[in-house]
Amino acid sequence: MDVKIESSWKNLLADEFEKPYFESLGRFVHDEYRTQKIYPPAKLIFNAFDQCPFDQLKVVILGQDPYHGPGQAHGLCFSVNDGIDFPPSLRNIFKELQSDVGKPIPSSGNLTGWARQGVLLLNATLTVRAGQAGSHQKKGWEEFTDAVIHKINAEKQHVVFILWGNYAIRKGEFIDKSKHLVLNSVHPSPLSANRGFFGNKHFSQTNDFLVRNGLEPISW
């Protein structure tokens, strides 16, 4: 299958794109875009990869599903387009960022600036029906994103994996902690943020690790 994705990822994942599950996933997604309202826009399905080439990757933040409201999703987990109100989890991310490193809460929830510094903002499922959270789960995306994480784990050194919530923590259980940093906490959702997300200091811990390993820190 000819997948339109940034070239370093296309080379890395070429075998994955030819597997039967991905062919089936491709047919499902194509039919959904043809018959339903789907987010993000089709050209942005692989935006997380396009904004963060494999050779520049330093950090992985793992989400679950794209946002399913109008104008929100643009292919980067937790991120929204300019001019869109912050979803509650993103607002809490910015609160923790302010508390941790003193960064003022920004006017835009667009996290493309993080991605372009080497932060892969990866959802486990890359598409969703409008207004129907989780509607594209268990169609093959999770298998694909598991393969992405396996590739990063095996072929990179000194990557920070930021896993918020039980779903993300389970998905990253196999990561080799002898060569990568894995940061776990509860999810930034209002339902759980007060039980350990606030105060986790993941942003400063990430930069401390990168600097210790001779890498440029992220300007969050």
Closest CA to 28 of 11, 45, 15, 14: 45
Q: Quickly tell me which residue has 């690790």 as its tokens.
A: 209
Burial of 28 (0-12, 13-18, 19+ CB in 10 A): middle
65 catalytic residue (yes or no): yes
Q: Quickly tell me which residue has 């875009």 as its tokens.
A: 33
Active-site hit among 31, 50, 65, 82: 65
Count of residues for the chain?
A: 220
Q: Which residue type, as a one-letter code, is found at position 190? A: P
Do 170 and 147 touch, CB atoms closer than 8 A? no
Question: Quick one: tokens of 80?
Answer: 């929204």
Distance CA 18, CA 117 (A): 30
Distances (CA, A) of 217 to 72, 79, 112, 204: 28, 20, 16, 9
**Any idea what DSSP says for residue 106?**
P
Residues marked active site are found at: 65
